Each structure stands twice: as C-alpha cells, then as structure tokens.
Structure 1
Amino acid sequence: MIITSLRSKIRLVFSVTLLLLGALFIFSIKYDHAMIEERNIAQEQAISHYLYTYYLKYGKIDEAYLEAQNVSLITDKGMVVQIERFFKEKGELKRYAVDTFHLKRIIIINNDRFKLILENKNKPQFPIKRVLIFSTVFLLIIFLYLWIMKSLQPLSALKSQIKTFSKGNLDIECKSDKKDEIAEVANEFDHAVTMIRELLHSRQLFLRAIMHELKTPIAKGRLVSEMLEDEKNKARMHSIFERLNLLIDEFAKIEQITSKNFELTIKPYKMSDLLEASEDMLMIENPKRLITTNIEKDYSLSVDFELFTLVIKNLLDNGIKYSTDKYITVTINDNKLTIRNKGEALPEPLENYFKPFHASKKGLGLGLYIVKSILDIHQMELHYQHEDGENIFTLV
C-alpha cells in the first residue's frame, strides 16, 4: 500500500521511531540482565573456589566471607530436602549447580570435602535511571507528534475552504496570523480569492451595464418598428428585435453559468417537450422545414429547464448553420438525443470546440462552450462521430 497522505507519513515515522525506541529499551534491559548473570556466575564460581581452598586450609566454612558476599547458608532440613528434590528432578544434582527455586537463586556445592546449599541474595536492581531516560524520550516523542499534528490542523480548515471555493462560494476568508508556511499559503489563497471576487464583481457589473444599455435602443427600435405601415417589414423588424432580446438573455445566462452565480431547478421533463421548447427558442418560421424529428422512444430527464433547453437550442442552431443543406434530423431513442446533419467532419477534436471564443466563421465560438458548461453541471456528456458524410452529435 502506497502512503500518500502527509499525516499518514508523519504517523508512520513516529510509529517506527517509537518501535525502535521500545526495541532499544528491551535490548538494553536484556543486555543488563545478561551482564548481571555473567557477573553472578563469575562471583559464584569464585565463592566455590574460595570455600574449597579455605576448607582445605582451616577445615571449616568461612561464614563471615559468605555474609560479606551477601550469600547465606541454608541449614533448614525441610528446605534442603525440597531443594535437593527440585534439582534432582531437573537432573541438575551435581557437584556444582545453580538454579532458581521459589524466586531464589540457589547454589549447590557438593565435593569430596563438604556439601553446601547456598542462597545468593545479590539481585539485580531496578534500572530506574534507564526507565526515567526512556520514559522522558518517549514522552518527548509523543509531545513532538501532537505538536506537529496540531500544526497541520490549519491544513484541514484550508482544504475545507478550498472545497467551498471550488463550489462557487466566494464569500470565504482563510487569513491566518501565524508565521509558518501553512499560514503563508492560507494568506496567499485568501488574497487570490479576494482578487477573483473583485474581478468577477467587476465583470458582472460590466456585463450588466452593457446589457442594460443594449435594452434601451432595442426598446426604441421596437417602438419605431410599430410605425411601419408595411406589415411584412414590421413583422421582420419585430423578429429581429426579439432575436436581439433573446441574445441578451443568453449572454446573461452565460455570465451566470461561468461565474456559477445561479441555482438549479431540477425537475423531470420529457425529452420531446425539451426539444419542442428548444425549437421555439430558434425564432425561425416553420422549423419543420429545417428539422425532422423522430421520436422512437421518448424518455424523462431530470434537468434545469431553462439551461437544458439552451443546450439543445445551441446544438440545433449549430446543426442547421454548419450543414451543407441547412437541414438536420433529430432522433429521440434509448435515453439518447441524436442530432445529424450533412457536412464534412470536424477538422479538430470536439474538445477544442468547447473552449470559449473558438475560431468560427459563423459566430463567436460560444455555442459549444455554453453546451459543455451546462452539461458538466448536469453531469452529462456530448459525443461526436462522422459517418457516411454526416456529423452525429449525441447527448448521453
């Protein structure tokens, strides 16, 4: 398993450090025990040799020496019998043997001169200094771990703020008065958010001002068109000004979509109804002469009505505009909407046309950019293929 999280890496480092510290502590305790055992063995052998030599010289046991060595002579007959039985059962009842009996270190010396059972009272002392040192280091490592993890807490808050920002909420603040690197990143991000907020606000004011200024001449133009006596020209002028009004409304929607300054109203709609509303938005007389609709199997789709009809309208408009015969076929079937038109294949990958203001001879290059933005909001996709001289766009 690959560890990618910074917190996980820190936990791993401190866990390994604590494990190594624990292993070092156990090793040191075992090493001390081995050294004490080695020292006891050497002492006990020296005692045995001294007692034998002293007995040969004076014919008795030097009990004062044993007391000085913190070794006592066991004389209780019941205890002696138990100890001899214990050593015999273990096969250790020899001329010289050492073992632990009832938590006591017992020495048996059995030679041609005497037989002694001794208790070595020299026990290892509790390594209080070593325990204190290791405990201090352990607590220091735990303190450092908690200190570092606490220092990383602002990252979680910053991550939460970034998530909120990515969802389009610009009313966030993540300033920090600390002096570490995380605080520097948070302050720079807060500064960037402020700049973006001001830039978007300026853009919104600019676009709204332009749209407001355009509304006035359009309204005046409609009033003037009412004075025309020719009904055909009057209807044509009405259509032109209605088209301009519709374009302004679309620009307003584009501004909302790109700035994510809108609320979706998701409801289920029949695809045939969405298609019919989109055809009405084209503002063309008798759309049936330009569009053939085949409803093989209608289906419902949960979408925002205004935004999604704008998607279909732009696809229909592009299909008619860029077809060689100004004619398209729309098919509703199998949870898909397919739009076909005759023409050459797209010279570039479809993804390139999703960019705003893509080079276009017949428009601003915003149509598919709007389509892509709205489809992303609805978590849908637009597929493209070219077969038998036809361009095929499919909403999936």
Structure 2
Amino acid sequence: MFKDSLRNKINLVFSITLVLLASLFIASVKYDHAKFEERNALQERAIAHYLYDYYLKTGKIDEAYLESQNVTLIKDKGQEIQIERYFKEKGKYKKYAVDTFHLQRIILINNDRFKLFLENRNKPKYPVKRIIVFSIVLMFILFLYLWIVRSLKPLSELKNKIKTFSEGNLDISCASNRDDEIAEVANEFDHAVKMIRELLQSRQLFLRAIMHELKTPIAKGRLMSEMLPDEKSKARMHSIFERLNLLIDEFAKIEKITSRNFELHIKPYKMTDLIEASIDILMTENPERLVSIEVKKDYIVKVDFELFTLALKNLIDNAIKYSSDKHVIVTIDEEHVDIINKGKALAEPLENYFKPFHTSRSGLGLGIYIVKSILDIHHMELVYRHEEGNNIFTVK
C-alpha cells in the first residue's frame, strides 16, 4: 500500500517530471526524424525529375549532380540484380520506388528512358544540441530533487528523536541553526522537551523530598512503638508503621512507572508464586479468610517480579474493598488469571477507570491506572465482565 508521506509525494512528483521529460525528448527526436524523412522524400522525387529532364536534353545521367546531392549511382551488375530481385519480391518493382536494402536506402527509377538504382547516403543528423539541452534540464531536475530530499533529512532526524522521546528518553537535543520551517519546528520541540524535562525533574525532586520526609516520622514512630509495654499494642503499631513504609515504597514505584524512569528485570515465574507474593504485600491479618486461590492449570510467565506483584496486589485489594462479602476468589487457568468478587457491576466502562485520579467511592482512583500502566509495560491485557452477580477481572 502506498504510504501517503511527504517524501513519497516528492518522489512521485519528480518521477512524473522525469517521465514527462523523457517522453518530450523521445517525441522531439521522432518529430525531427519524421521531418527529415519528409524532406528526404521530396528531395528524392526532385532528383528523379531532374535526372529524367536532364536525360531528355543530353542523353546522359548527371553524376556530378548526384554527387552534390550525396547520392551514388550503383553500377555493379551483381548488386543491381540483387536489388532488382529484392524489389520484385516485395512488390515494389515500379517506375519509382524507395526501400532499404542491407541498411542502404535505395531509390529505383525505372522509366521509358533508363533504369537506375541509386543509393541515398543522406542520414539524419545526430541531435547533439537537443541532447545537450535535455541533459542540462535533467541535471537541473536531479539537483533540485537531491536538494529538496537533503532539506528533508532533518525532518527524519527529528522524527527519530521524537520517537526516542516518546519511549521515555528525555536526554535529547534537537535544536537547529538552520533557517527554515523544519528548524523552527525542531527548535520549538527542543524547547518543549527542556520544559518537560525540568518539570519532571522538579516533580521527582518534590515527590522524593516528601517521601524522604515521611520516612523520618515513620522511623521515629516505629522506635516509639517498641517502647510500648503492651505487646499486642506494640505489634499493632509496628504493623501500622510497616504498612505506611510499604505504601511509601509503592509510591516510589508508581512514580518510576509513570515517569518511565525504571529498568525492567524480566524473569520467568510461576503464576501461583506471583499470586502468593501479591497477597503477602497486602499486609492484612489472616489473608486466607479474604482471598481463596483456585489453581486449574498453573503456568510460567515472564515478568518483572516487583511491578507485576504490585499490579496483582492492587487488583486483589480493590476486589476486597468493593466486594459485598469482603472475599475474593483468584482463579489461575492456562494463560490467564481471573480475580472474582461479589458485587454490583462497574458503573462505567473499564476504560474510564484507566484514567488517573478517576472519581471513586474511596481512595485516589489510582489503583486501576497503576494496574493498566504495569500491564502495558508487560504487553498484557486487562478484561472485565460481570456474570451472575460476580465482577470478574481477567489478566491475559
């Protein structure tokens, strides 16, 4: 399929131009040849009339005149016999005829006075001037084409840099000192990249500063909880601060995911191991009363362990939070995982929940957005359906 790009349009225009130029050159050469043939035919008839009139007056053939017209009288008898036979075979043995014999243009004059075979040595001139003119035009068109294509080269470089930028690499520079429209676009994009880079850097600095500041009171809280005399209260406070610490670590991961500032560590894992690890980081007491695992067929999946378990943990956490009986069933089958809870169907299409800070009954509305971001990184898909009072989220 023809790609509707600027380069292809330029190629098409210049291709049509070259075809038209070649057609014009061929047509002009054919026209010149046709005009030569027309003049040649008139000259040959004029020679025939002159020779007849001259013979009537003098009884001789004017060979000097023939030589001046670049025409030769054929006198070799053997050659005359061959030419005569050739004309008779072609049905052209008449009073006057012209044909080509062995690449020679032969004129037959056969009247009541004489019979002559003449060789017309006049040839069309080689169109040197026309070739020079067309060559100059061709070189100019090719120069113009290369000049335009070369001027588009920065556009290809800009496209590659934009692609690199879209993949998360902000350390690019596409500033140009050229004086054209492409340079203007490149410079504006370079300015936008710098602004985005500075914005992301300030955002990352801000988030890291907040997380760092939160770490200090959490550490102090854990230290103070160790001084509590009641072991039960101590364990509860320790669990709370551990949960807060884990949440900060998760926020750090989320910040890396959204800014694409991370490196994947893809390895093969059993899906059962990933599910169990995601349940562990729920940080709930007696998780078996909240989550049931049904293994129909376990399978191996290649993922980043920390990111993928975070995605599963968010799905399971949401399923527990919004279930009517506070219980979730995780079903592992071939090539997919179902996370099932009892409850009402989603009020909106699943795609709406992929947006960050989606309005929800509680929380920040980031859970499904984080899940979608992580699954996209792993080239996986999240599908939702509601059947018989159950919400079923499937990770394919």
Fold match, TM over 0.5? yes
Q: Distance in 2 between matches of 1:135 and 1:208?
A: 68
State the secondary structure of the residue aligned to 1:253: helix
Q: Is the 8 A contact 1:3 1:9 kept in 2?
A: no
Give 1:64 shift: 3.9
Give 1:238 shift: 1.4
Name the structure 1 match of 2:207.
Answer: 207
Name the structure 1 match of 2:43.
Answer: 43
Give 1:75 shift: 2.4
State the secondary structure of the residue aligned to 1:315: helix
Q: Distance in 2 between matches of 1:343 and 1:18?
A: 70
Matched, 1:182 2:167: no
Give 1:136 shift: 1.3
Give 1:61 shift: 3.0
State the secondary structure of the residue aligned to 2:268: strand
* Equivalent position amino acid for 1:309 in 2: T
Name the structure 1 match of 2:255.
Answer: 255
What are the Cα deviations for residues 73-105 of structure 1, in whole angstroms up to 9, with x where unaligned? 222333323322332332222111111223332
* Equivalent position amino acid for 2:13 in 1: V
Unaligned residue ranges in structure 2 (runs of 5+): none
Name the structure 2 match of 1:366.
Answer: 366
User: How high is the TM-score relative to the length of structure 1?
Assistant: 0.95
Q: Distance in 2 between matches of 1:124 and 1:65?
A: 21
State the secondary structure of the residue aligned to 2:67: helix
Name the structure 2 match of 1:154.
Answer: 154
In terms of mean alpha carbon deviation, does 98-107 or 188-197 score higher? 98-107
* Equivalent position amino acid for 2:127 in 1: P
* Equivalent position amino acid for 2:143 in 1: F
When the two structures are aligned, how many residues end up with a matched partner?
A: 396
Which runs of structure 2 are paired with 1:8-27 in the superposition (5 Å)?
8-27=8-27
* Equivalent position amino acid for 1:379 in 2: H
Give 1:269 shift: 1.2
Name the structure 1 match of 2:350.
Answer: 350
Name the structure 2 match of 1:309.
Answer: 309
Name the structure 1 match of 2:77.
Answer: 77
In terms of mean alpha carbon deviation, does 221-230 or 330-339 score higher? 221-230
Q: Distance in 2 between matches of 1:270 and 1:61?
A: 110
Measured at CA, do residues 300 and 63 of structure 1 come closer, stay the same or move farther in structure 2, by a change above 3 Å? closer
Give 1:289 shift: 1.2
* Equivalent position amino acid for 2:351 in 1: E
What are the Cα deviations for residues 23-75 of structure 1, in whole angstroms up to 9, with x where unaligned? 22111111111111111111111221222233334433333433333333222
Name the structure 2 match of 1:94.
Answer: 94
Q: Distance in 2 between matches of 1:115 and 1:297?
A: 106
What are the Cα deviations for residues 307-361 of structure 1, in whole angstroms up to 9, with x where unaligned? 1110111111101111112111111122221111111110001111111111122
State the secondary structure of the residue aligned to 1:52: helix
Q: Distance in 1 between matches of 2:391 and 2:91?
A: 98
In terms of mean alpha carbon deviation, does 153-162 or 167-176 score higher? 153-162
State the secondary structure of the residue aligned to 2:338: strand
Give 1:172 shift: 1.3
Q: Distance in 1 between matches of 2:126 and 2:269?
A: 81
Q: Distance in 2 between matches of 1:304 and 1:63?
A: 102
Q: Distance in 1 between matches of 2:322 and 2:48?
A: 112
State the secondary structure of the residue aligned to 2:362: coil
* Equivalent position amino acid for 2:50 in 1: Y
Name the structure 2 match of 1:130.
Answer: 130
Unaligned residue ranges in structure 1 (runs of 5+): none
Q: Is the 8 A contact 1:294 1:331 kept in 2?
A: yes
Q: Distance in 1 between matches of 2:287 and 2:376?
A: 28
State the secondary structure of the residue aligned to 1:61: coil
Name the structure 2 match of 1:33.
Answer: 33
Q: Distance in 2 between matches of 1:276 and 1:382?
A: 20
Q: Distance in 1 between matches of 2:327 and 2:233?
A: 26
Name the structure 2 match of 1:2.
Answer: 2
Name the structure 2 match of 1:384.
Answer: 384
Q: Distance in 2 between matches of 1:203 and 1:63?
A: 104
Give 1:121 shift: 2.6
State the secondary structure of the residue aligned to 1:139: helix
Q: Distance in 2 between matches of 1:235 and 1:105?
A: 118
Q: Is the 8 A contact 1:328 1:341 kept in 2?
A: yes
Q: What fraction of aligned residue pairs are identical, expressed as a percent? A: 73
Give 1:123 shift: 1.8
Q: Distance in 2 between matches of 1:224 and 1:68?
A: 127
* Equivalent position amino acid for 1:387 in 2: E
In terms of mean alpha carbon deviation, does 119-128 or 303-312 score higher? 119-128
Give 1:367 shift: 0.7
In terms of mean alpha carbon deviation, does 208-217 or 64-73 score higher? 64-73
Matched, 1:318 2:318: yes
* Equivalent position amino acid for 1:40 in 2: N
